Amino acid sequence: MPGVTHLAGSRRVLLWTLVVGMLLVWFANLDARSLIRPDEGRYAEIAREMAASGDWVTPRLNGLKYFEKPPLQYWLTAAAYSLFRPDEWTARWWPAVSGVLTAWLLWIAGRRTFGRRAAALAAFVFATMLWPVANSHLNTLDMGLTFFLTLALAGLLQAEQAGREDPRHLRWMALAWLGCAGAVLSKGLIGLVLPGGAVVLYLAATRDWHLLARLRIGTGLAIVLAVCAPWFVAVSVRNPEFLHFFFVHEHFERYLTTVHHRTEPWWYFLPLLLAGTLPWTLLAAQSVAGAVRAGPPGRPFRPGLFLLAWIVFVTVFFSASSSKLPSYVLPVFPALAWLMGDRLDRIRGRALVWYGVSMLPLAVGAFALGLRATHYANDRTPVVLYRAFEPWILGAAVTMAVAATACIVLAARRHLIPAILALGLGGLGAWQLAITGHDALAPSFSSAAFARAVKDRLDPDCPLYSVRTYDQTLPFYLGRTVTLVAFEDEMAFGLGREPDLGIPDIGTFATRWRAATCAYAFMEPGTYDELVAAGLPMTVMERDTRRVLVSRAPTSGPARP
């Protein structure tokens, strides 16, 4: 019928307009912010050194062997540098694209399991939640890991939907195992541990032992080995010390001991999960509570219960670890989004009103925080930086308040889809404003401006030292490595293998510095004051509240007091 066809066409146009608009907002600020320390600078620099050296087997950080993580994201980022150039956009492109691909998987794979509308809502919810948005715009490894783990989940859901006798079952399970392989190459053995643990927990709850046969474990492990083994073999042949450090130190010792000094209480991730699901926190809680009843018990496979097993296992696994970072729990969010999309699709009446109401106090609180942002200033992050950040916080708070109010009004009138769109788009806009505005604090968290001010004044033939500190963003923005002085931290392994690339103590550095005719040194103000008091000859080239750059001899550039 012409009328029906016209209506369907209009909906498609609106849908694609929404998608394109969200993509523009998603990618608009990738290069609007300087890279911040530590993670963004670290992973950007490893990829820069890989692209510059042409060695795609042995990852290096500041010229030193660095085996804490596998190389997949380094490869992808280095490839972007080679095609374009090293900058903030190319450094962050893979996490941003991974976030989009994860949302796309939620839509594509969720249609057969939860229905077309529920799958679309799941993708929308994921793309507007605080934690997925934030981690898609930071150069860390966790969004890439989350994408591959979601690919594994998507393959399993599709395979179970098809059934063991369907010829497509093997293809879907092969895709699931390919996702596990990508996760292993992204961040190590958790690419197998997390899916495996979720399966074990699900089996304990359902006694569906036939699932083990349907997983095609033999074929799957062959796929993982085919994808991952070539790099693991190559790096081990070149670096015999790799296997012990990567598998024993970076997996078992990191998990079981406090060697990385990232200890937090067992409940550390619970508030992060609550905050990370904003503006859908109430929906998330309801979805988890209802997941136990999702799907009739008589079915061979209960997707809602499996997703709940995934959420519980990932959260408990990282909560039990002796090393915790906020982004570790990110793989929970795609599974959570599927449950949330399914519940949101079944909401009737004015229930959405309460989602908007729950956000108003938070928006008011954020606004009040913005007005008091300068109270958090200190000697290292001065008032002027927080004053520049204030308008962005206030803008994000107002955006969220307007969106919550619109959701309340629309839901009260039973315009459910417009209410959902209002709340979600308001969330995305608020998070992007806050993320973009954080660049106001960049002088405190990034050496970008500092490095640009001195880069052209540094003689590339003169050594550059970093004394008692290492700013992860400095080598990236200078385009060169530094010689570490009396500093090891995460470079201890690399320095242990190549000690000539560092200087172990201040005494040795002072001797070398006095003998040099040309040299530069980067340090914190406290270290500078100590060395001046000790009589070490230094000329200040540049300084701010966190950094001092000195030279051994007067330079052609103006000195900075």
**Residue 91 token pair:** 């450094």
pLDDT at residue 294, rounded to an integer:
55
Band (pLDDT 50/70/90 cuts) for residue 349 is: confident
Spatial distance between the Cα atoms of 286 and 22, rounded to a whole number of angstroms: 26
Averaged over 107-120, what is the pLDDT? 94
Looking at the structure, tell me whether residues 158 and 276 fall in a common domain.
yes
Spatial distance between the Cα atoms of 553 and 373, rounded to a whole number of angstroms: 41
Spell out the residues 6+ positions from residue 410 whose beta carbon is closer than 8 angstroms to its own. 352, 416, 418, 419, 422
Looking at the structure, tell me whether residues 125 and 136 fall in a common domain.
yes
Looking at the structure, tell me whether residues 398 and 369 fall in a common domain.
yes
Spatial distance between the Cα atoms of 466 and 546, rounded to a whole number of angstroms: 13
* DSSP reduced 3-state for 557: coil
pLDDT single digits (tens) 214-247: 999 999 999 999 999 999 999 999 999 999 999 9
What is the domain range of residue 405?
Answer: 352-445
Answer whether residue 398 shows pLDDT above 90: yes
Looking at the structure, tell me whether residues 294 and 237 fall in a common domain.
yes
Looking at the structure, tell me whether residues 414 and 479 fall in a common domain.
no
Question: Is 532 contained in some domain?
Answer: yes
Contact 466, 483 (CB under 8 A): yes
Looking at the structure, tell me whether residues 309 and 186 fall in a common domain.
yes
Separation of CA 128 from chain center: 15
Spatial distance between the Cα atoms of 359 and 335, rounded to a whole number of angstroms: 23
Decide which of 436 and 347 is more confident: 436
Residue ranges of E strands in 463-555:
464-467, 483-485, 502-503, 520-523, 539-543, 548-551
Q: Of 323, 345, 367, which marks where a domain is finished?
A: 345
**Residue 362 token pair:** 């938070």
Answer whether residue 173 shows pLDDT above 50: yes
Spatial distance between the Cα atoms of 217 and 481, rounded to a whole number of angstroms: 44
Three-state SS for 356-413 is HHHHHHHHHHHHHHHHCHHHHCCCCCCHHHHHHHHHHHHHHHHHHHHHHHHHHHHHHC
How many residues can be counted in the chain? 561
Helix axes 332-345 and 88-114, enclosed angle (nearest 10):
50
155 HSE (CA, 13 A, CB side): 23
DSSP per residue, 99-164: HHHHHHHHHHHHHHHH-HHHHHHHHHHHHHSHHHHHHHTS--SHHHHHHHHHHHHHHHHHHHHH-T
Question: Is 191 contained in some domain?
Answer: yes
Question: Is 118 contained in some domain?
Answer: yes
Averaged over 302-309, what is the pLDDT? 94
**Strand 520-523, strand 464-467: pairing:** parallel
**Residue 218 token pair:** 């033999």
Dihedral pair phi/psi, residue 31, rounded to 5°: -110, 20
Three-state SS for 3-16 is HHHHHHHHHHHHHH
Contact 285, 265 (CB under 8 A): no
Looking at the structure, tell me whether residues 232 and 288 fall in a common domain.
yes
Q: What percent of the chain has pLDDT over 90?
A: 82
Q: Of 345, 367, 392, which marks where a domain is finished?
A: 345
Looking at the structure, tell me whether residues 163 and 247 fall in a common domain.
yes
**Residue 310 token pair:** 């995934």
Band (pLDDT 50/70/90 cuts) for residue 265 is: confident
Looking at the structure, tell me whether residues 273 and 405 fall in a common domain.
no
Question: Is 21 contained in some domain?
Answer: no
* DSSP reduced 3-state for 467: strand
Residue type, 85: R
Name residue 542's beta-bridge partners: 549
pTM of the model: 0.94
Band (pLDDT 50/70/90 cuts) for residue 291 is: confident
pLDDT single digits (tens) 462-489: 999 999 999 999 999 999 999 999 999 9
pLDDT single digits (tens) 179-192: 999 999 999 999 99
Answer whether residue 320 shows pLDDT above 60: yes
Dihedral pair phi/psi, residue 165, rounded to 5°: -80, -15
Looking at the structure, tell me whether residues 476 and 503 fall in a common domain.
yes
Question: Is 60 contained in some domain?
Answer: no
Nearest to 310 by CA among 136, 104, 156: 156
Q: Of 313, 345, 377, which marks where a domain is finished?
A: 345
**Residue 458 token pair:** 């540094």
pLDDT single digits (tens) 414-428: 999 999 999 999 999
Looking at the structure, tell me whether residues 253 and 175 fall in a common domain.
yes
Question: Is 138 contained in some domain?
Answer: yes
For the chain, what is the domain count? 3
Question: Is 74 contained in some domain?
Answer: no
Averaged over 75-84, what is the pLDDT? 97
pLDDT single digits (tens) 131-145: 999 999 999 999 999
Residue type, 187: K
pLDDT at residue 9, rounded to an integer:
65
Question: Is 51 contained in some domain?
Answer: no
Looking at the structure, tell me whether residues 526 and 437 fall in a common domain.
no
